[in-house]
Amino acid sequence: MQTLTGRTALVTGSTSGIGAATAHRLAAEGARVVVTGRDTARGDAVVQEIHDNGGDAMFIASDLAAVPDALRAFARDTTDAAGATIDLLVHNAAVCPAVDTLGLSDVDLEQTLAVNIRAPHVLTAALAPAMTEQGHGAIVVVGSWMAEVGHAFVGLYSASKAAEAQLARSWAAEFGPRGVRVNTVAPGATRTPINDGSDDVIRRMTENLPAGRAGTPDDIAATVAWLASDQAAYVHGTTIAVDGGITATRAG
């Protein structure tokens, strides 16, 4: 059963990994999907795969580290190109510098804050009003289990994901009464193209989990699609851990 027929979705960072899997899943559920990212070739490939599977998608290039006015222009361009209100907004794109505090460069600091916090805030402010005007919509933040515990590495990434989850809770309070549901999905150790070379690390992180394995992008996409659908109509402001039990059964 297609649960998202007639909806238009924007998934940031959807040219690979969790974002691409989410774009495929939303399209399979009947949504028209705007795929976006910096790599046009990869974006076009995701769109073609969706078309080959009978779905509806288009690609629009974006730079989420851009200044706020450029992000607002991207939101307008996306709405115009889609020819419809964006009903479903998935904040998936993120930057994760794999360094400790002393090793973090100023460039990585600024880019992480821009992509992980500023861009979701600006895009939500740009796109949520049209959702509230029509009286329905859904926003899903792709967070991280790392927002729940301390880490010697990736501290800034973890903090940015905690901030984004708090934004989602605040947006739920702000926009929920006007018909827009906002929630967070928090993945655990998930195999994506970015960490293909980290098999040993992922194995150590996941071998003793209740799930007994690492997550897959499809695991995350399925939960995002459910939260975006009317099946989750009474779910507001929550964080769903799709992490194989990592936050529930270990401290870090």
Catalytic positions, please? 157
Burial class of residue 164, CB neighbours in 10 A (0-12, 13-18, 19+): buried
In whole angstroms, give the CA distance from residue 40 to residue 60.
8
161: Cβ–Cβ under 8 A, 6 or more apart, which residues? 94, 116, 143, 144, 146, 147, 186
197: Cβ–Cβ under 8 A, 6 or more apart, which residues? none
In whole angstroms, give the CA distance from residue 20 to residue 73.
23
DSSP labels for 158-187? HHHHHHHHHHHHHHHHHHGGGTEEEEEEEE
| Three-state DSSP state, 221 | helix
Largest CA distance in the chain: 50
